[in-house]
Chains A and B, each alone.
Chain A
Amino acid sequence: MDRRKSAGSAVGGKRLSARTAVPYLFIAPSLVLLTIFFAIPVVIAFLMSFTDFDIYSLANLSFARFVGFRNYANLYSDPLFWKAMFNTFYFLVVGAPLTILVALTAAVLLNSKLVRFKSVLRVGYFAPVVATLVAVSVVWKYIYDPHFGLLNYVLSFIGVSPHDWLSNPFWAMPAIILFAVWKNFGYTMMIFLAGLQTIPEALYEAAEIDGAGPFQRFWKITVPMLAPTTLFVTVVTLIGYLQLFAEPYIMTGGGPVDSTLSIVLMMYRQGFRYWQMGYAASIAFVLAAVIFILTMIEMKIQGEARAA
């Protein structure tokens, strides 16, 4: 939608001008709610991250004292925080590309003219996306069961001995990643499918006449044409995956030996289990900063790729 065009036509009476307070009244509810439940809280959280706000302050707000950068300094020297950072990035660095790759493969195959019953297949792949995260996490916990779980049963056919996936510090995170790919690839696939539909058929036909094989067509046409879509899904996936919480909360409780403790899970525990709210606020701001920086880097890389 072109904003400038519609603003210009407002002069010609296309947009209602505000002789009254009406438009302000219309945005007032959202403005008020956003101020009380977002803008002010973010500012308070920022201030809070410089205090020792804890369970005593919860009883009496005046007990909270200003401690400067102590929370951030403590965070820096807290091995558990670095563990949580590592785990979250492990989840992100392996999980995000895997999700996008699976989604892209599924989208390209589904987009083929040869495939029948497309809409049924699409809904099947998409089902995990709409399913309640907590409920399917519960289901998968039993799929990973060491004695009666489906995964061990399936793997037994290719000679893999049974594992206690979620109780093993090495395997717990890969297990959560596999679950997350299953849960999320359908969403990314739908976006890719929409992107694929915008690529003109003529490009493929011309390439085929010039003798390009299916792989060449994929690399030289599909991939570059999908670049904007890829940027979008990458940013969305990164931001979503950095907020990993319910999966470890339900499936592992952050264990074993903190091998699946994520940043948000650590923040939740510090803030709402131990009531170390000052400390938790500093974790939240580190998370926000990481999300912001990653998004910026991603935009820059993609921007350069497009310019090149």
Chain B
Amino acid sequence: MKRRGIKSFTLTAALAVVALVVLIPFFWMITTSFMKSGESFAYPPVFWPKRFTLEQYTILFKRLHFLRDFLNSFAVASLMTICSLFINSLAGFAFAKYTFKGRKFIFTSFLATMVIPAQVGMLPVFLILRQLGMLNTYWGLILPGAVSAFSIFFFRQYMSTIPTDLIDSARIDGCGDFRIYWQIMLPLARPALVTLGIFTFLGTWNDFMWPLIVLNRDTMYTLPVALANLMGEHAPDTELMMAGSVVTVIPIMILFLALQKSYMSGLIAGSLKE
């Protein structure tokens, strides 16, 4: 029993050390962001500011418009999450609870889109958005990515487990189809909504290539695009770049930690259903 205890302690300690190594970049990013300019140009590297200062954050928010970029990111990710949950759950509901001509064919076609990488459509989508006047708009970021075959699949699977009797009795009570969806299905599919909601929000917040293509006016920049741009002009300002990274990463990390359980269970459900 005692040997087992020692083994358990050693293994846990070893894994904890590895976890610390994995997390060091985050730790270094955060402490460096509170240093004054130039303080991190030192060897050996410094891990703790001599005096904590908000100097870098002041520059970011006062001079470099990071609040605007933050709000853009937040607006795009929120709108995308709402639109995508609505559109995909509606389709998932139809596939789960209705029989109609072409159902199997349409569903398979949706799934088949997952085989083709997004980059293939990017050039024409750019031209289409230009034609529609949607470059440099939130909608230009949201509409092309709102439909997700994975989400539709996920909703269909989840809603299939909800008893159809509920719908039948609601219908007898004179409930219309949309009201059945809105007042019965959606509340019951809450776990699926939460899981896919986090996936979508995180994915949109972190997305880089598509915003980089669609946005060329700096008033519309999302955080990753703003940060990449900042790298072009302020690469030597390590402390400033770290503050920019903190502003980009930390909100999403907090969200993840808060909703970790739903995120992880969705991740695993997604892989098992493949």
Contacts and interface: CB of A to CB of B under 8 A. Distances in A.
Given A26-B90, A38-B113, A194-B268, A138 B23 contact: no
B91 interface: yes
A139 B29 contact: yes
A56 to B, nearest CB: 14
Indicate the size class of the contact surface on chain A: 35 or more
B45 A150 contact: yes
A250 B226 CA distance: 12
Given A18-B99, A131-B253, 14 more contacts: A10-B99, A31-B91, A33-B143, A40-B124, A41-B124, A114-B8, A131-B206, A134-B248, A136-B25, A148-B42, A182-B25, A242-B117, A264-B209, A287-B117
A127 B209 contact: no
A84 to B, nearest CB: 13
B110 interface: yes
Ranked nearest first, the 5 interchain pairs of A and B with the lowest CB-CB distance are A18-B100, A41-B121, A124-B19, A41-B124, A26-B94
B104 to A, nearest CB: 8
A112 to B, nearest CB: 6
Contacts of A168: none
Contacts of B16: 117, 121
A45 B95 contact: no
Contacts, number: 273
Interface string B14-30: 01101110111110110
Given A45-B123, A115-B8, A138-B241, A131 B249 contact: yes
A131 B224 CA distance: 11
- Tell me what chain A mostly uses at the interface: helix, strand, loop, or mixed: helix
Interface in A39-54: 39-42, 44-45, 48
A175 interface: no
B268 A1 contact: no
Interface string A102-144: 0000100110101111001101111110111111101111110
Interface string A2-18: 00001100100111111
B87 A16 contact: no
A148 B40 contact: yes
B98 A134 contact: no
A45 B124 contact: yes
A251 B223 CA distance: 17
Contacts of B119: 243, 264, 267, 284, 287-288
Contacts of B19: 120-121, 124-125
A117 B146 CA distance: 38
Contact of A15 (B4, B99, B224, B238): B99
A24 interface: yes
Nearest to A235: B274
Most interface-central of B25, B123, B125, B252 (chain A CB within 10 A) = B123
Interface string B191-234: 00000000000100110110001000000000110011001000
B45 A14 contact: no
A37 B128 contact: yes
A222 interface: no
A132 B205 contact: yes
A249 B209 CA distance: 10
A123 B260 contact: yes
B91 A27 contact: yes
A42 B121 contact: yes
Contacts of B113: 34, 38-39
B257 A123 contact: yes
Interface string B34-62: 00000011111100000000000000000
B90 A22 contact: no
A135 B227 contact: yes
B208 to A, nearest CB: 5
